Amino acid sequence: MIRPLLAADIAACQLLTHEAQTDLDRRIGETPTELTDEVAVRRHRRIAHLHQTDPDSAWVAEVDGAVVGVSLALVRDGMWFLSLLMVHPSHQGKGLGRDLLDAALTTATDRSWILSTVDPAALRRYQRAGFDLHPSYTARGPVDRSRIPAVQGIREGSYDDDRGLLDRVVKAVRGATMTPDIDYLAEGPVRFVVADDAAGHGFAFLRSGGVVWLGATTEDAARRLLWTSIAEAGDEVEVDWLGGNQQWATDVCLDARLGLKGGASLCLRGQPTMSPYLPSGALG
């Protein structure tokens, strides 16, 4: 049975998401993410946030009283984005993923898009739903720190002072605000840096292994933000969603001596390509 997600389902959704992602990572030869308290809290917060902001786009699959699948989407300024679609490994191959996608698509707009995993079944499902597949690369590896240039004009971001900048930039690049999501981001531990000068405006949300989300009004600003993200990362860096229209980012990653491998796909249905932009897997 496919039904709306309830607040009481969030813990079960967080756990099945971990189990489904772990199964996928093992099948594609990736190291699964350990379910630490930090990871569990982050995933729980994501589900709870989108259940609050977009309840009409939040669904679960229930079998014999147990929640075994979840789909979450968001709509911002006429743009629809699929944030999450997971089915527990023991219930895959039974059509639940297709049914959850169909439920999420009931709120889809003329500008809709998905960041897919590399799972062939998922790619087939999205293409059959009318999404054009745009393959991307992932850059990964140790950074040659001697290659990192001196970067000017990047400063620490402030959730109090830079809300307007964040919203203007993301709306300019993807055509949709992030206003409903800024408080959610501010409550978490994620830092961000900004470019705000005559050469361009932009932001980059940082993680220990690279960048979570980056958008800018010019490629110059985007390059400076990505170099800053790489410089502040740990020994191993990963940068995702290097599509054909993100050559500025591919150049930076290759200059940093990161290795490229085939990644997943951006799936677009009416949503224009976005650049300079490295999207958020959770928020689009």
Question: For residues 192 and 56, what is the distance between their CA atoms, to the nearest angstrom?
Answer: 30
Evaluate whether residue 236 is within a structural domain. yes
**What confidence score (pLDDT) does residue 117 get?**
87
Evaluate whether residue 66 is within a structural domain. yes
**What confidence score (pLDDT) does residue 33 get?**
77
Full domain range(s) for residue 190? 139-278
- Whether a cis peptide bond, with omega within 30° of 0, leads into 149 is no
Please state, rounded to an integer, the average pLDDT across all residues of the chain. 94
DSSP conformation letters of 189-242: S--EEEEEETTEEEEEEEETTEEEEEEESSHHHHHHHHHHHHHHS-SEEEEEEE
**What confidence score (pLDDT) does residue 209 get?**
85
**Could you tell me which residues come within 8 angstroms of residue 146 by beta carbon, excluding any fewer than 6 positions away?**
none
Q: Are residues 146 and 68 in the same domain?
A: no
Residue finishing a domain among 90, 109, 128: 109
**What confidence score (pLDDT) does residue 19 get?**
92
**What confidence score (pLDDT) does residue 188 get?**
82
**What confidence score (pLDDT) does residue 142 get?**
94
Q: Are residues 151 and 35 in the same domain?
A: no
Q: Are residues 75 and 143 in the same domain?
A: no
What is the Cβ-side half-sphere exposure of residue 257, based on CA atoms within 13 angstroms?
A: 10
Evaluate whether residue 154 is within a structural domain. yes
Evaluate whether residue 91 is within a structural domain. yes
Evaluate whether residue 115 is within a structural domain. no
Q: Are residues 100 and 172 in the same domain?
A: no
Q: Among the ranges 37-41, 111-115, 207-211, which has the highest mean pLDDT value?
A: 111-115
Q: Is the pLDDT of residue 217 over 80?
A: yes
| CATH number of residue 13's parent domain | 3.40.630.30
At 37-93, the pLDDT tens digits run: 777 788 899 999 999 999 999 999 999 999 999 999 999 999 999 999 999 999 998
Q: Are residues 147 and 263 in the same domain?
A: yes
Q: Are residues 104 and 7 in the same domain?
A: yes
User: In percent, how much of the chain has pLDDT > 90?
Assistant: 82
Question: For residues 249 and 52, what is the distance between their CA atoms, to the nearest angstrom?
Answer: 34
Q: Give the lowest-confidence range in 70-74, 137-141, 142-146.
A: 142-146
**What confidence score (pLDDT) does residue 190 get?**
87
Q: Are residues 78 and 147 in the same domain?
A: no
Provide the domain count of the chain. Answer: 2
**Residue 78: strand, helix, or coil:** coil
Q: Give the residues across from 238 on adjacent strands.
A: 140, 210
Evaluate whether residue 143 is within a structural domain. yes
Q: Is the pLDDT of residue 283 over 80?
A: yes
Q: Are residues 183 and 231 in the same domain?
A: yes
Evaluate whether residue 79 is within a structural domain. yes
Q: Are residues 161 and 52 in the same domain?
A: no
Question: For residues 26 and 29, what is the distance between their CA atoms, to the nearest angstrom?
Answer: 5
pTM, two decimals, is 0.94
At 219-258, the pLDDT tens digits run: 999 999 999 999 999 889 999 999 999 999 999 999 999 9
Residue finishing a domain among 62, 94, 109: 109
Q: Are residues 257 and 164 in the same domain?
A: yes
At 181-203, the pLDDT tens digits run: 999 999 887 899 999 999 999 99
The tokens for 48 are 């709870």
**Could you tell me which residues come within 8 angstroms of residue 264 by beta carbon, excluding any fewer than 6 positions away?**
115, 116, 117, 118, 136, 240
Evaluate whether residue 48 is within a structural domain. yes
Q: Are residues 87 and 144 in the same domain?
A: no
Q: Are residues 104 and 222 in the same domain?
A: no
Residue 225 near residue 276 (C-beta atoms within 8 A): no
Read off the pLDDT of each residue in 264-278 and give the average, rounded to a whole number. 96
Question: For residues 45 and 153, what is the distance between their CA atoms, to the nearest angstrom?
Answer: 33
| Phi/psi at 83 (5° precision) | -85, -35
| CATH number of residue 268's parent domain | 3.40.630.90
